[in-house]
Amino acid sequence: MTEKSSPFTKEQLEAIAAEVPTPFHVYDEGAMRANARAFYDAFSWVPGGFKNFFAVKALPNPHVMQALKAEGLGGDCSSYGELVLCEAVGITGEDIVFTSNDTPAYEFQKAAELGAIINLDDISHIDYLEKALGGKLPELLCFRYNPGPLKAGNAIIGKPEEAKYGFTREQLFEGYRILRDKGVKRFGLHTMVASNELNPDYFVETAQMLFDLVVELDRTLGVRCEFLNLGGGIGIPYRPEQTAVDLAYVGRKIREAYEATIVAEGLGPIKITMECGRMITGPYGYLVGRVLHKKAIYKDYLGLDASMANLMRPGMYGSYHHITVPGREDAPRKVYDITGSLCENNDKFAIDREIPDPEIGDLVVIHDSGAHGHSMGFNYNAKLRSAEVLWQREGKWRVIRRAETLADHFATLDYPGLS
């Protein structure tokens, strides 16, 4: 079987575990930074400039966000809390794009206070935003386009026509006409129709779709978009046999489409942006747990001190996360269901997975937890949220989020005897 390897030795992880209780998530800062730079290199050709707005929901930790900010990334936010995180690390103004749905007024107000690019999800939100901001729209607004049956989605987001997000094509043109007539001068266009997609041509097709729309908006309404947000959705190879998206290829093919459409129509320069989170940090996060039990009934089970509360993706989506056992690489292999202790039968990191057979007490590494891992954690069964560790270089690491305590968990309860 094809195998993935951890960048950390057993000894390095045991050194962390001596100070930080398992389970914990550990992130490789250097690898994340290098990956962010490679993304920018692939789009260095864009005449209007390129920017990736890191999807804060993927890994909402200010220490990670600060490192990515140093590499030129902005913040893609969808809530008040994510806006506040950006503000705390100094990401403000048009380095933030705020894309939200079913949005309360106070969140729009916070986005406007920070000078963020507000990306509206529905045509009715034009009036709602105007009222929320005291009767005046921002000078720059963007719309999220939902192409419906004109473009296929994928397993995570589903069919665009069944998704709750975005404007129809007809609403899009009507919405820009309304903005134009209300005196808005600056415009952007956005779409996001897939998540964790590994087909590089999917993103080229998305870019071409937006390029064609930009031309039509200019011709029919006189509305000229100054930037296009191609969304996120670039996937990562969770399975060992999968191949990462070739960013250089994507950048090159989008350049060809840009020159054949935008440049040929005399509409440039137009800035190109994206909002990738998973592909920036996902492959460089690892959930580290310890083997507590082995159970043999109708199947063989390997019980960890980690659970679905630390990484919900396998239980929620049936997603694959590779699993390795540091120091046991050459051990005989055995097939297990690898489980946590929640009172839910879907609390499984893997089903019928062959791994090197560990001993009780061994550390186990669950790969690719650097996006939508800790951030999707929860407290069912009064499980406590785990720590997050930032690996900076050989022998140097620091805790960037301590493990929760019962006092943290009970802090919102007004009840005697709980503290």
Phi, psi (rounded to 5 degrees) for 148: 55, -135
Tell me the per-residue pLDDT of 74-114, one tens digit each, with 9 for 90 and over.
Answer: 999 999 999 999 999 999 999 999 999 999 999 999 999 99
DSSP helix/strand/coil, 28: strand
CA distance 247 to 64: 22
What is the average pLDDT across 154-167? 63
Mean pLDDT of the chain: 94
* Residues classed as catalytic: 343
Taking 90 as the threshold, does the pLDDT of residue 14 lie above it?
yes
Per residue in 376-394, pLDDT (tens digit) is 999 999 999 999 999 998 8
Check whether domain 29-279 has CATH 3.20.20.10, yes or no: yes
- DSSP collapsed to 3 states, 208-268: HHHHHHHHHHHHHHCCCEEEEECCCCECCCCCCCCCCCCHHHHHHHHHHHHHHHHHCCCCC
Residue corresponding to tokens 């946590």: 340
Residues sharing a CB contact under 8 Å with residue 187, sequence separation 6 or more, in sequence order: 140, 141, 142, 176, 179, 217, 223, 224, 225, 226
Cα separation, 238 vs 212, whole angstroms: 33
Q: State mean pLDDT over 24-38.
A: 97
The C-alpha atoms of residue 99 and residue 79 are separated, in whole angstroms, by 8
pLDDT at 366 over 90: yes
Which sequence spans correspond to the domains of the chain? Answer: 10-26+283-410, 29-279
Per-residue pLDDT tens over the stretch 323-337: 999 999 999 999 999
Q: What is the pLDDT of residues 249-282, one digit of tens each?
A: 999 999 999 999 999 999 979 999 999 999 999 9
DSSP state of 35: H
344-356 average pLDDT score: 97
The larger pLDDT score, comparing residue 151 to residue 127, is at: 127
Would you state the pLDDT for residue 395? Answer: 80
Provide the 8-state DSSP code for 92. Answer: -
Contacts (Cβ under 8 Å, ≥6 apart) of 46: 255, 258, 269, 271, 272
Lowest-pLDDT range of 153-167, 214-228, 263-277, 344-358:
153-167
> Mean pLDDT throughout 3-19?
94
pLDDT of residue 155: 52
Fold of the 10-26+283-410 domain: Lyase, Ornithine Decarboxylase; Chain A, domain 1 (2.40.37)
pLDDT of 342 above 80 = yes
* pTM for this entry: 0.94
- pLDDT for residue 170: 95
pLDDT at 320: 97
- Name the residue with tokens 């396998």: 314
**Rounded-to-integer distance, Cα 196 and Cα 114, Å:** 30
> What is the rounded CA–CA span in Å between residue 91 and residue 93?
7
Enter the tokens of residue 46.
Answer: 């864009």
Q: What is the 3-state secondary structure (H, E, C) of 314-370?
A: HHHHCCCCCEECCCCCCCCEEEEEEECCCCCCCCEEEEEEEEECCCCCCEEEECCCC
Distance CA 59, CA 85 (A): 11
pLDDT band at 402 (very low <50, low <70, confident <90, very high): very high
Q: How many residues does the chain have?
A: 419
The residue written with tokens 């009934």 in the block is 297
For the four alpha carbons of 111, 113, 114 and 115, in that order, the dihedral sign comes to positive
Average pLDDT in the 186-194 region?
A: 93
Confidence of residue 159 (pLDDT cuts 50, 70, 90): low
The residue-averaged pLDDT of 393-419 equals 91
Residue 1: predicted pLDDT: 47
153, pLDDT greater than 70 = no
User: pLDDT over 70 for what percent of the chain?
Assistant: 95
φ/ψ of 114, rounded to 5, equals -80, -5
